[in-house]
Structure 1
């Protein structure tokens, strides 16, 4: 059962709490730390993206379409819809002979409030390229084009693209495909339901591909990992925790958010995977939870920790900017 991880205080009194479950797994598959229920099953949401991209990379898509490292990072991103991300969407789709009309993720408000405001001021509609998952969908379309299968229905579980990704996810988490249940994600494609432990195991294997027993997939896994670490801003965006954390740790920690406050981390030198799920799905808890867990695991230097809390202060402010409360971890 989940346990209380964060206290939100006001006037020195606890006003709200966030419960969480955490799994920390090494590359051998050992659960090295657990908070709450580390084997709680949950939808992986967008934190599964690095592994959904594997079939495209393994099948030679990078070489066939001359995909750049930055474009690989875009295909696993949950981006903010900033100008850089929009440009990457157009460029990538052009390489595979398609346009944004092929994207079936649906238009969405950019995660970047600045970009959203600019569009509204210009009276421009939100488009599919502003959708945080347009990179993933571009990767799915790229795989369809490479396989020379119809792009119509590419979001359906029965489509060859989804079946290949489904198998890749199962292999990455070391589960039989039939034991990984599915649902529908916010962007209309299959999403995978599995234990937090297995999510963390996949990230441990991503952290150290050379020790992750990937077999022939090792080179592809390393390519995806290195692309994410080389282009943190593409993976998320300005002032986003994923991006800031990868920059602050200089690529030692890889980070990837998923909706409903599922979050995955990989400590590259340690071969550790970390997955946590905030019980109520609240995004406000993700940043302080991530920082607290990394501090608990001694995966941040004192300077890195200080930089992170400066950028994501564990305090509550009122509309005047006065500090009126704190965010305190229980671990």
Structure 2
């Protein structure tokens, strides 16, 4: 079995001080591997990088159509957002349309990553709600599907119809039977697959044709919603949002916890999946930026690229002391 490959290095002065290893796969429209680093068969939790897969039943079931969901809401269903007002206001309105409230969520409260939202809560002496959870858009999608199916309120339980539908979609688009699951930070099951399976799934999203069939139409709608609303998928200052804006052609990007990242490249009919072994976000962001540059869809001189690719490391006096650089094998 192939071990992890070097993907990102942290340089200080004349030498590499730290190295992040991992696995990365680029797949074409047939699901075949175009390029790979490390072990394509590595078993992984894709974490939040799987949200567009988890959103497939929302559309395929007819729920999205029945409730008139917009592209903004579909983008939020795929989001790991900052909890800014642009996110929480929309999720609250979505809940209200369902006749539901914050207590109907099962994702748990989270302090917003957005400074303005966090400081507003502090000034008001208020605790964060579940709507502030970065996964609240995904959970609004789960609640919509549960209501459409007439299913019970415990929609994160693995044997709930919502999660059974998510598992079926997950196994179909990855092309693999999942050997199990772990419970994600938002309490929903996160299904295991191989890195190749996840890249294959993203390539299938990239190749999807609107109107071809229910699955492809759903895939097409989801990546288009992400590209149309990058600010809803993550938020200002975040890699997903900034790199989607920076790409020279439509590319849907989504991070996942513990060093995961995916890319959907419709114009190239390719999908990317990567996992950093030690779970470092800085390495995942550098690696995905390097792969986008490698494929010619991201200018390495763009500010969003430079913030993650060969990004300077500064000390507390603002002096540049090092850089975050991709391994030479990526470029």
TM-score, scaled to structure 1: 0.93
Structure 1: runs of 5 or more not aligned: none
Whether 1:324 and 2:321 are equivalent positions in the alignment is yes
CA RMSD of aligned residues (A): 1.8
Q: How does 1:105-254 map to 2 (within 5 A)?
A: 105-151=107-153, 153-176=154-177, 179-210=178-209, 215-249=213-247, 252-254=250-252
Aligned length: 325
Residues 63-121 of structure 1, C-alpha deviation per residue, up to 9 Å, x if partnerless? 21111110111111111100011011111111222111100100012232443234224
Q: How does 1:63-74 map to 2 (within 5 A)?
A: 63-74=65-76
In structure 2, distance between residues paired with 1:117 and 1:40: 41
Aligned-pair distance for 1:292? 1.4
Aligned-pair distance for 1:215? 4.0
In structure 2, distance between residues paired with 1:301 and 1:315: 17
Equivalence for 2:302: 306
Question: Which 10-residue stretch deviates more, 249-258 or 318-327?
Answer: 249-258
Aligned-pair distance for 1:11? 1.8
Question: Which 10-residue stretch deviates more, 52-61 or 116-125?
Answer: 116-125
In structure 2, distance between residues paired with 1:56 and 1:193: 21
Aligned-pair distance for 1:270? 0.4
Does the 8 Å contact 1:61/1:142 carry over to 2? Answer: yes
In structure 2, distance between residues paired with 1:327 and 1:175: 35
Match of 2:262 among 247, 255, 264: 264
In structure 1, distance between residues paired with 2:291 and 2:261: 11
Question: Which 10-residue stretch deviates more, 127-136 or 306-315?
Answer: 306-315
In structure 2, distance between residues paired with 1:215 and 1:195: 26
Equivalence for 1:15: 17
Structure 2: runs of 5 or more not aligned: none
Does the 8 Å contact 1:74/1:234 carry over to 2? Answer: yes
Residues 279-321 of structure 1, C-alpha deviation per residue, up to 9 Å, x if partnerless? 110112222121112223333245xx43323444611100111
Q: How does 1:34-45 map to 2 (within 5 A)?
A: 34-45=36-47
Aligned-pair distance for 1:251? 5.2
Does the 8 Å contact 1:278/1:286 carry over to 2? Answer: yes
In structure 2, distance between residues paired with 1:93 and 1:26: 38
Question: Which 10-residue stretch deviates more, 315-324 or 2-11?
Answer: 2-11
Equivalence for 1:292: 290
Aligned-pair distance for 1:247? 1.1
Distance 1:214 1:258, change over 3 A: farther
Equivalence for 2:60: 58
